[in-house]
Structure 1
Amino acid sequence: METKADLASLLCSRLCHDLLSPVGAMNNGLELLADEHDPAMRERCMELLADSARSAATKLKFFRLAFGAAGGFGPKVDPKEAKAVLEELVGMSGKTQLIWEVGDQLYPKAAIKILLNLVFMANEALVRGGQIQVGSELSEESCEIVVAASGTHLAFSADVEKTLLGNLREEELDSRTAAAWMVHKLCEENHGQILLEHPDKNMLVIGSNIKV
């Protein structure tokens, strides 16, 4: 990764990729609505439009806090903001439960970004749904975060794992691994590290600790 601009470009590519589906669905829904005269079908089109709009809004709120500068927030962020966007993101599938065990203290922005992105990656790994448990401990010196994902079909990308641990070459990075690289760099910049374990084939545990 030559510059921060290169990372920003990859993160933007990921954001566009994830928004393409709901925005495309809204466009298609509007086209169908314009030509449809049956009341039942028009109602169905409106439902699909509403679902797609909610999906796009949820993803935008998540990416704003997880990837962006989190405009409106200072150097510290209320973890309730993270919880709110994660509950919407994880809950979209209707198949995954979020268990939140994080205190109410204000967290450094870097820690919130790490937490959000670790849950984001864990959620993607739960192809058929499951459970994501998020825990954290914050002191005057450090912040520890643990994200545990469990499900009957857990598929965690080998490249994402390598990137989180700093074992993927920078020239091999792409939009799929950009978030993991950002987490790796945030940990590195804050004198921390990532720990990753697979207790069994249906469980993934990712831990992070940084200095604050």
Structure 2
Amino acid sequence: MPKNPNLTLSGPDLAALLCSRVCHDVISPVGAINNGLELLDEGAADADALDLIRTSAINASVRLKFARLAFGASGSVGASIDTGEAEKAAKDFAVAEKKTEVTWNGPRAIIPKNRVKLLLNLFLVAYAGIPRGGSVDVTLIDPEGTARFEIVVKGRMMRVPAKFVEICSGTLEEAVDAHSILPYYTVLLAEECDMELKHIVSEDNITFIAEMAAA
């Protein structure tokens, strides 16, 4: 039984909402590829249409690779993942978005896949906290042992995503939907990893933290 009272989704509902999230993330670049092909059919300048197709295809590929690590099985049950894969996925994601710079600090390690999934989902929560872009600084401390992940974001119009706060505190009053499934899944992963989530807001940045729960 989850400790957080908001973690009540059934397995099928969780799977359906995560699928909706992935579809939401890739539908825009895939649609842009289709638009580029239509431009070619209409006799538009080849260079412009091909550039749109190329850029959109890269964007879709990056988003799918990120989703495979953050939401997918990524190997067998109980498998471990190289944090270097998570670093590449996060940096490629930011490059495709073209509005945020990502730095990554800490040792490269092979750790349980749910810790990697937690790290990447917390990255997305933190990323959502700077909707106008900025910087994301990820730090891994002793990832193979008493793991602690710190993600510091800076940017204009910074804010902690409201649904993340509500689900973390167990005070969400409405049903979880495709918009709130990301913070929901992040909190669920934290419980699965026996890690605690917290955030610290200062004047010039917000720090999101996942660390091993106190004994």
CA distance in 2, matches of 1:91, 1:73: 31
Residue ranges of structure 1 left out of the alignment (5+ in a row): none
Q: Which residue of 2 aligns with 1:203?
A: 205
> 1:199 offset after TM fit, Å?
1.2
Question: Structure 1 residues 139, 33: closer, same or farther in 2, change over 3 A?
Answer: closer
**Is the contact between residue 165 and residue 184 of structure 1 (CA under 8 Å) also seen in structure 2?**
no
**Is the contact between residue 109 and residue 144 of structure 2 (CA under 8 Å) also seen in structure 1?**
no
**Is the contact between residue 196 and residue 210 of structure 2 (CA under 8 Å) also seen in structure 1?**
yes
> 1:73 offset after TM fit, Å?
9.1
Q: Which residue of 1 aligns with 2:191?
A: 188
> 1:164 offset after TM fit, Å?
3.6
Q: Which residue of 2 aligns with 1:15?
A: 22
Q: Secondary structure of the equivalent of 1:142?
A: coil
Q: What amino acid is the match of 2:180?
A: T
Q: Secondary structure of the equivalent of 1:86?
A: helix
> 1:192 offset after TM fit, Å?
2.0
Give the TM-score normalised by the residue count of structure 1. Answer: 0.89
> 1:183 offset after TM fit, Å?
1.5
> 1:72 offset after TM fit, Å?
7.2
| Percentage of pairs with the same residue | 32
CA distance in 2, matches of 1:77, 1:139: 12
> 1:141 offset after TM fit, Å?
4.7
Q: Secondary structure of the equivalent of 2:182?
A: helix
Q: Which residue of 1 aligns with 2:83?
A: 79
Give the TM-score normalised by the residue count of structure 2. Answer: 0.88
Deviations along 1:104-127, one digit per CA (max 9) or x if unpaired, are: 121221111111111112222222
Residue ranges of structure 2 left out of the alignment (5+ in a row): 1-7
CA distance in 2, matches of 1:15, 1:166: 25
Identify which range, 137-146 or 22-31, moves more after superposition.
137-146
> 1:84 offset after TM fit, Å?
0.6
Q: Secondary structure of the equivalent of 1:107?
A: strand
CA distance in 1, matches of 2:109, 2:144: 11
RMSD: 2.0
CA distance in 2, matches of 1:156, 1:121: 8
CA distance in 1, matches of 2:175, 2:75: 30
